[in-house]
């Protein structure tokens, strides 16, 4: 693993790059910017064109492929944390959203829906892939539903799935191999 360097943007935000990329990055000035998901990205502007640092390091052009930060942290632009992805893969790797339409979501786990009945509350796992929503089973606990989501998400999305309990899924995958 290569050595990382911590740099600071013109508006005072830190970001990481590999030592090997320091000279390339130093040729530009960088600004922290936020997308609609509150993710921080590091942008350089040249002649009115905005380019993300992750896109430059991955040598991405066009709009068919995006840059994905594996650990979900936009400030971490080490090459070991970057990979090309489709929009769907990048969205699959997004963290749980805790606010939707100004309201706090009921479940603290990604892919879990809460069903409040008159006498009982149950939980269901759900996942949307390529515009198709899949729901399965009702679980007695939120954690059971989160584990069911993790299993199915990993089956369908592989390394791009953002999991609730990644160590459990990856350890069971290793045990099965």
Decide: pTM greater than 0.85. Answer: no
Q: Give yes or no: residues 32 and 52 share one domain.
A: yes
DSSP 72-85: S-TTB--GGGEEEE
Residues 28 and 100 reside in one and the same domain: no
Domain boundary among 61, 85, 109: 85
Report the pLDDT averaged over residues 8-16: 88
pLDDT of 15 higher than 60: yes
| Last residue within a domain, chosen from 85, 115, 147 | 85
**DSSP letter for each residue of 115-134:** EE-SS-EEEEEEEEETTEEE
| 98 and 166 fall within a common domain | yes
Q: What 3-state DSSP class applies to 90?
A: helix
pLDDT in tens, 82-96: 999 988 888 777 776
Indicate whether 79 and 109 sit together in one domain: no
Structural domain for 133, as ranges: 94-176
Q: What is the CATH number of the domain that holds 132?
A: 3.30.730.10
Task: Indicate whether 35 pLDDT > 70.
Answer: no
Each residue's pLDDT tens digit, 123-173: 889 888 888 888 877 889 999 999 999 999 999 989 988 899 988 877 776
Do residues 102 and 162 share a domain?
A: yes
Q: Please identify, among 60, 85, 110, the residue that sits at the C-terminal boundary of a domain.
A: 85
Same domain, 129 and 70: no
Same-domain pairing of 161 and 103: yes
Do residues 37 and 72 lie in contact, with contact meaning Cβ atoms separated by under 8 Å? no
Q: Are 103 and 167 members of one domain?
A: yes
Into how many domains does the chain fold?
A: 2
Q: 171 with 100, same domain?
A: yes
108-117, pLDDT tens digit by residue?
A: 888 888 888 8
């Amino acid at each position: 693993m290569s050595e990382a360097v911590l740099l600071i943007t013109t508006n005072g935000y830190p970001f990481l790059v590999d030592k090997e990329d320091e000279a390339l990055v130093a040729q530009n000035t960088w600004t922290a910017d936020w997308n609609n998901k509150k993710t921080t990205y590091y942008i350089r502007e040249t002649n009115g064109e905005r380019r993300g640092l992750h896109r430059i390091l991955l040598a991405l052009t066009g709009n068919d492929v995006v840059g994905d930060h594996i650990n979900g942290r936009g400030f971490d632009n080490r090459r070991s944390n970057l990979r090309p992805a489709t929009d769907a893969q990048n969205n699959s790797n997004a963290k749980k959203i805790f606010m939707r339409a100004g309201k706090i979501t009921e479940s603290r786990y990604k892919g879990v829906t809460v069903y409040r009945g008159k006498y009982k509350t149950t939980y269901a796992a759900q996942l949307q892939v390529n515009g198709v929503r899949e729901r399965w089973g009702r679980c007695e606990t939120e954690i059971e539903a989160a584990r069911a989501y993790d299993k199915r998400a990993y089956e369908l999305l592989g390394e791009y799935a953002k999991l609730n309990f990644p160590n459990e899924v990856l350890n069971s995958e290793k045990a099965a191999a």
